A and B are shown apart, each in its own frame.
Chain A
Amino acid sequence: MSEKRAESAAPKPRGIRQTMSDLHIWAGLLLGWMLYAMFLTGTVSYFKNEISQWARPELAHQASVPDPADVAQRVAGELGRLAAGSSQWSIGLPSARENTAEAFWRLASAQPGQRRFGQATFDPATGHKVTARDTTGGEFFYRFHFQFHYMPVLWGRWLAGLAAMFMLVAIVSGVITHKKIFTDFFTFRWAKGQRSWLDAHNALSVFGLPFHLMITYTGLVTLMALYMPYGERLAFKTPQERQQLTRELNAFIQPGKPSGRAAELAPVADMVRQAQALWGRDNIARVTITLPGDAASRVAVARGEEGRASMSPQYLLFEGSSGRLLETHDSVGPAAETRGVMYALHLGRFGDTVTRWLYFLVSLAGTAMVGTGLVMWTVKRRRKLPDPARPHLGFRLVERLNIATIAGLSIAMATFLWSNRLLPGTLAQRGEWEIHAFFIAWALALAHAVLRPPRRAWIELLWVGAAMLALLPVLNMLTTDRPLWRSIAEGDWVFAGMDLVLWALAALHVKLALRTARHKAPVPRGAQSPRTKAPAPAGERTVPSVPRTTFDATHGATPSQDALR
């Protein structure tokens, strides 16, 4: 859009920027709390495997990755005993980020409504089942960020999709509202009060903008088959066509018709080695075996996610009885590949450690963007309240929900990790109880936020969060034999990294708590000059020696624009 047009539109009662500003404010607010939770839990999910390793301290640190070919052979042998008669085994192999092999298999005797798959974790060195505490680990945060909990999975995913659509609207309308968002890329003034909230919100939005746009859009793409199934339904009608579609999008092969003739499974290790020759030794993700022991058996060896920015399946298909290579599936059509690339961009699993940290940091900035936006809604409005000491219901609701969401979620997530260390191993459904603890802590934080004066609630909950995060490494030291110094000495950067990041996050909470405590309550100010809305922010905007300011040149007069800054 041209600047000229916008400027000429600005004095009119409702210009495009005005409308977009309102849209940004309300689209951002309405699902903002959900978006904050999705962003934060999604952010930590970039280290989902590492969190899961931390959550099972019984399983030793993996200094080097064992040969996936040998591991696949061992686990397949073990599954021959554990899951004989199953029509489908699927073995996830260890990698640099995963210190165990895991497998699931279709249960032969499953009645409708019963569990259809068995699941177990294996020691890569021996191939035997390992016993560790029952926990969902990093998988919980990952699942929560797109399907929530305590509700049917599909509802959660629809809700997440709705939130993502609101996010897209908020991003686009935010960019339009701040027309100089790109030219003013490095324009930043450090001012006090509400101005710095806006500046922080803008800074976090602008410097992560490509990421925010990408992550929101690709997030929708990951679940597009759920949200928009109509094209697919129209194009693929017969079961064969649907099967072909599944094959195009997924390396997880389905069992065919058993021949009834017994035939021993050829060595799986040899098949994996052929795949390793193509993709590299440690770049094998999964081995799926159908109808083991039958002459019609098939084995699919799937490529890992490392080193290619695409989730499109690549696998070698072997005849199980002979080990003969039947098919090399290494490319998909352009449409499927587009989806595969977007999917991969969202998950970021292809990245090396540096790339993963970049994902984490920029995503954290996105979380802060949503958080500052939510807080700003109240900061802007407080000064305009007729009686700031007794705000109206809507204001109080937003204020309390902000506290409970932002400060409360940190406490809830820390509680999840605390309960991982403290819940007794004998507790029935222990993994579920870790999740219950997460929600109980969150509910308590909400209660606290409702019952205490808002400013006190912010400070107290931030301190609680800081203390819980800071003490987690200590708790880890007391409850496991893997304290920080041992982790560092042994080069175990999964455990050492968790401890150090927890302390960094604790420091962040301390900083926020101190700032909130230092921040003067804006109430007296509103009481002093209840009638002078426009001049007050204008005065604040003017900083000596900086005549040209960020977003103020053209739109300063309308009340709602005022609310944005």
Chain B
Amino acid sequence: MSHLAIFLPSLLGFSALALAMERHQESVFDRALPASLTRVLRNLGWAALLAALAVAVETQGWGLGLVSYSGHTSASAGLVFGLLIAWQRRRSAR
């Protein structure tokens, strides 16, 4: 199930990176998070993306690993993107 082990860290990574942005903090938490927490989120995001890359290359080799890494990062970024939109729409509907 190496695909899940690539996809989940990618998802976590992009979620953390999105939440490290002020505008999304405001939309999700209604306020900006402290700078220290933002930094942690940003580092966590990048670390998770790197971890996903490591898993991909480790389990599938460089050739296939890079390809599925690209696919999983695209899909997880798209998912985070979609969730943020859905969240914003729900809020603006209220």
By a beta-carbon cutoff of 8 Å, the part of chain A in contact with chain B is 185-190, 203, 207-208, 210-211, 214, 307-310, 341, 345, 348, 350-352, 354-355, 358-359, 361-362, 365, 545-546, 548
Contacts and interface: CB of A to CB of B under 8 A. Distances in A.
A309 B78 contact: no
Interface string B27-58: 10000000000000000000000000000000
Contacts of A207: 74, 77-78, 81
A355 B71 contact: yes
A307 B68 CA distance: 12
Mostly helix, strand, loop or mixed at chain B's interface?
helix
B93 to A, nearest CB: 10
B72 to A, nearest CB: 7
B77 A351 contact: no
Contacts of A309: 63-64, 66-67
Given A186-B80, A545-B26, A345 B85 contact: no
Contacts of A358: 68, 71-72, 74-75
Nearest to A365: B78
A185 B67 CA distance: 21
24 contacts: A186-B14, A186-B17, A186-B80, A186-B84, A188-B88, A190-B85, A203-B81, A207-B74, A207-B81, A211-B74, A214-B70, A308-B64, A309-B67, A345-B67, A350-B64, A350-B67, A351-B67, A352-B3, A355-B67, A358-B71, A358-B74, A359-B71, A362-B78, A545-B27
Contacts, number: 74
Contacts of A214: 70
Contact of B75 (A308, A350, A361): A361
Contacts of A352: 3
B11 interface: no
A186 B81 contact: yes
B70 A211 contact: yes
B75 A362 contact: yes
Contacts of B88: 188-190
Interface string B1-33: 001000000000010011001011011000000
Nearest to A341: B63
Contacts of A186: 14, 17-18, 21, 24, 80-81, 84
A208 B84 contact: no
Contact of B92 (A190, A208, A365): A190
B64 A307 contact: yes
4 closest pairs, A vs B, by CB? A358-B71, A309-B63, A354-B3, A186-B18
Contacts of B64: 307-309, 350-351, 355
Contacts of B94: none
Given A203-B81, A207-B77, A345-B67, 15 more contacts: A186-B14, A186-B18, A186-B21, A188-B81, A190-B89, A208-B74, A210-B70, A210-B74, A309-B66, A309-B67, A351-B68, A355-B67, A362-B74, A362-B78, A546-B27
- Which of A185, A341, A345, A351: most chain B Cβ within 10 A? A185
Contacts of B92: 190
Nearest to B20: A186
Nearest to A545: B26
Contact of A188 (B72, B74, B84): B84
Nearest to B89: A190
A215 B3 CA distance: 22
B8 to A, nearest CB: 13
B94 to A, nearest CB: 13
A351 B67 CA distance: 9
Nearest to A208: B74
A351 B23 CA distance: 38
A446 B14 CA distance: 42
Contacts of B3: 352, 354-355
Contacts of A310: 63
A351 B71 CA distance: 11
Nearest to A355: B68
